[in-house]
Structure 1
Amino acid sequence: MTDLLVERPVPVAGHDLEDVGAVGRRRVPSWAPLALVGSVILAAAPVVVWVCSVTHPLPVVHEVALFVHLASLLVGFGAVLTVDWVAALFILGRRTFHEMLRAADNAAVPVWAGYAGLVLSGLLLEPDLTSPVTIVKLVLVLVIGLNGVVALGLHRALGRGGADLRWMALGGMCATVSQLGWWGATVVGFLNAH
C-alpha cells in the first residue's frame, strides 16, 4: 500500500518512460494515488452490498468466512490500536515523532490487509441488509476505509513537514474517527451475532 504513496514520473503521451528525457516527464500529483484508492473504496461499496444480497454460501463456507472475519478484525484493528497507542505515547512525551511515524509505516500493511479481509469475508456472512443496525455497520466500514485514505495522506504530510500542529490536530481527528468506526463496527457485529 505504501507503494501508492511514491511519486513517479509519468511518460508524455506516445512515449515510454525510458525514452523520455527529464524535460519531458510529468509527475503524478501527490494526491492522485490517494484519490484512486478512495474512488475504489467508494465504487466497491454498492458492489459489496449487491454481492451480499445474492450470495448464499454453504454452512462450512460461512464458518470459514466467520473465522477469517474475526482473524482480520484482530489483524486490522490490532494494528490500528498499536499505531494509536504509539501516537498517544508521543503526545505524552514517551515516544519521538519519528517513532510514531515508523509505527504507522510498519502497521500500514496489517491495517489494510485486515480491512480487506473483513470486507471480503463479510461477503460470505449473509448480513441482514434489511436491518438498520447492519446498515449502520456497513456505513461504518465505508467510513473506516475512507478515513484510512485520509490517514495515508496525513501520514505523508507529517513525514514531509514534521510535527506541524495543524497536521497533528487533523491526525487526532482522523484517529478519533478511526476508533469510533472500528469500535462501532465491532459492537454492531457482536450485537448481530446474538
Structure 2
Amino acid sequence: MSYIAVSRRTARRLESEKATRRLVVILCVAAAAAWLTSVLMAASMHVVGLPHTYALIAHILAMVVSFGAILLVDWHGFLWLIGRRELAETIRLDGAATPLIWGGLAGMLASGIFLNPHLTSAMTDVKLAAVLVLTLNGIMLIPLMRRLAHLPPTASFLDLTPGQRFHMLSCLTISQVCWWTAIVIGFINAEF
C-alpha cells in the first residue's frame, strides 16, 4: 500500500464534489417527494368555484415567473454559447433567477393540488411526468453550474470539456422539451 500525497486544494475540491453529489441526491429525493405529495393530494381533492379560480390564477402566475426566468437564463446561456456574453454574466444571471425558478415550481406544485387534474388522462400523466423530469433536470445542473463558477470569467463554451458541453446542451434540451410539453398539455386540458 502506498501513500499518494494530495494537496489541500485537491482535497477540498474532492470534498466539495462529494458534498455536491450528496446535495443533488437529497434535492432529487425531496423534489420527487414534493411532486408525489402534490399528485396524491390533487387526487383526493375536488375544488370548485372561487377557490378553483384562485388556484388557477396562482398556477398560471407561478408558471409565468418560473418559465420566464428559465427562458431568460437559457437565452443568456445561448448568447454565451455563441460568444455574445461572458460566462460571469451568465452565472450571475443564473444566480439571480434561481429563486424565481424554484419558487415558481413550488407555487405550481402547491396550486396544482386545487386544479382538479384529470389523473386518468394519458395527457395529464405526460404533463405530470414532464414536470417531474424538468425539476430533476434542474437539480442535475447544480454540479455543472458549480464547476462553471470556478472557470475564468471570460471562459467560452469551447473551454468546457466535451462532457460538460454535452451535459449543458442535454439539460437545456430536456428542460425546454419538458416545459413546452407541460405548458401545451396544461392549456389543452384547460380547454376540454
Tell me which interval the TM-score lies in, with the shorter structure as reference length. Answer: 0.7 to 0.9
2:149 partner letter: G
Partners of 1:190 and 1:43 lie apart in 2 by 25
| Stretches of structure 2 lacking an aligned partner (at least 5 in a row) | 1-14, 153-158
**Residues 1:36 and 2:26 are matched in the alignment:** yes
Moved more, 64-73 or 51-60: 51-60
Residues 139-158 of structure 1 mapped to structure 2, 5 A cutoff = 139-158=129-148
Match of 1:124 among 105, 114, 127: 114
Identity %: 35
Between the two structures, name the one with larger relative contact order (CA 8 Å, sep ≥ 6): 2
Q: TM-score, normalised by structure 2?
A: 0.83
Q: Output the aligned Cα RMSD.
A: 1.7
Partner of 2:128: 138
4+ residue stretches of structure 1 with deviation over 6 A? none
Distance apart, 1:41 and its partner CA:
1.2
Deviation at 1:160, TM superposition (A): 2.5
Scaled by the length of structure 1, the TM-score of the pair is 0.82
Residue 161 of structure 1 and its aligned partner are, at CA, apart by: 4.3
Matched, 1:91 2:81: yes
Identify which range, 41-50 or 130-139, moves more after superposition: 41-50
Distance of 1:191 and 1:57 partners within structure 2: 20
Alpha-carbon distance between aligned partners in 1 of 2:40 and 2:73, rounded to the nearest angstrom: 33
Secondary structure of 1:29's partner? helix
Moved more, 139-148 or 39-48: 39-48
Query: Aligned residue pairs: how many?
Result: 169
| Contact kept in structure 2, 1:157 and 1:167, CA below 8 Å | no
Q: Note the residue ranges of structure 1 that are not aligned, 5 or more in a row.
A: 1-25
Distance in structure 2 (CA, Å) of the matches to 1:66 and 1:145? 20
Q: What corresponds to 1:110 in structure 2? A: 100
